[in-house]
Amino acid sequence: MAERTYIEAIREGLSEEMTRDSDVYVLGEDVAVGGPFGVTKGLAEQFGENRVVNTPISEGTVVGLAVGAAVLGFRPVVEVMFIDFITLAMDQLVNHGAKLHYMSGGQLRVRLTIRVQGGALGNWGAHHSQSLEAWFLHVPGLKVVAPSNPADAKGLLKAAIRDDNPVLFIEHRGLYWSSGEVPEGDHVVPIGKAALRRSGRDVTVLAFSKMVSVALEAAEELATEGISVEVIDPRSLCPLDFETIETSVRKTSRLVIVHEAVLRGGIGAELAAQIQEAVFYYLDSPILRVGAPFAPVPSSGALENHFVPGKEQIVHAVRKAMGHTTAKQ
């Protein structure tokens, strides 16, 4: 095990995959100089600027170019600096990248990874703070992952690059400088496997990306009240490890889903629907969701604090879920 920040873990994943496979290319704005957060720092020196390619500010065409290169055998990794800017590449990603394998009857494989980062932090306002994962879960053909710690960031990135499908790799800016243990060697985390972050009996809390740490803090506090919380991190949002979630809910009979994105139309809505279809008669309380209010991300620090779901909201939701019955002894 080695201690790494989330940024270092991603960089290590990129570097290892570029070493392993000469068809891996990194493209994006400023990537040859490391990008705004230094994620790709040093890669251009290591692999040359023909493989770590600075692009103009043309997200749509750069993503399309990567799709074109991907179907002809390359494994491009595109960095879209902020998830907010992926709106500019929606046609290329959704209409072309996601569908070409299907539309071609399997003739084409889109071996593409798109790295984005998002999340509200530091009062950066409505164009540099969003959590947009739900849009992409609605697109057949795309895979979506959102790592919550350095080990998963590295392992899932390596899996994404090796995958023959387009994978949207969602990083959280609020995790960039957090540290954690990363296993040595060729550490690959399979896409589609959830992780149990804390075992518990009474309520399952499902959280991903930065919300995992917030959920764990909430679970700690709730433990002092005698409420035992199980925290599950799906890691991969599509495909989803439904089995692990279902097993947990069958055990606890209560589910709270947490995400930083706005509540309406979020992944929580879809998951709640799927879970109740599967385990309705096991539930002791309605499935509850915690998410952001239905508003753009505000710029003011005072407002941003009200926007991003915090520990208190999770604690409140869990208590509410417990309200109909007592904690199991």
The catalytic residues are 59, 128
List Cα–Cα distances, 152 to 146, 182, 209, 309, in angstroms: 9, 8, 10, 23
Spatial distance between the Cα atoms of 148 and 175, rounded to a whole number of angstroms? 7
Tell me the Cα Rg of the chain: 20
List Cα–Cα distances, 229 to 60, 219, 257, 259, 319, in angstroms: 43, 5, 12, 17, 11
Residue at 21: amino acid letter = D
CB of 289 to other proteins, least distance (A): 27
Among residues 19 and 326, whose Cβ is nearest to other proteins?
A: 19
CB of 106 to other proteins, least distance (A): 5
CB of 295 to other proteins, least distance (A): 29
Structure tokens at 62: 């750069």
Spatial distance between the Cα atoms of 17 and 31, rounded to a whole number of angstroms? 16
- H or E stretch including 288? strand 288-292
CB of 17 to other proteins, least distance (A): 17
Compute the C-alpha angle 248/207/116, nearest 5°: 135
Please provide the DSSP assignment of 14-83 as one string: HHHHHHH-TTEEEEETTGGGT-TTSTTTTHHHHH-TTTEEE--S-HHHHHHHHHHHHHTT-EEEEEESSG
Among residues 136 and 307, whose Cβ is nearest to other proteins?
A: 136
CB of 99 to other proteins, least distance (A): 8
Among residues 102 and 294, whose Cβ is nearest to other proteins?
A: 102
Among residues 41 and 109, whose Cβ is nearest to other proteins?
A: 109
CB of 1 to other proteins, least distance (A): 33
Q: Which residues of the shown chain bind other proteins in the complex (CB under 8 A)?
A: 50, 55-56, 58, 60-74, 76, 91-92, 95-96, 99-110, 140-141, 143, 164-165
Among residues 107 and 329, whose Cβ is nearest to other proteins?
A: 107
Among residues 92 and 148, whose Cβ is nearest to other proteins?
A: 92
CB atoms within 10 A of CB 86: 26
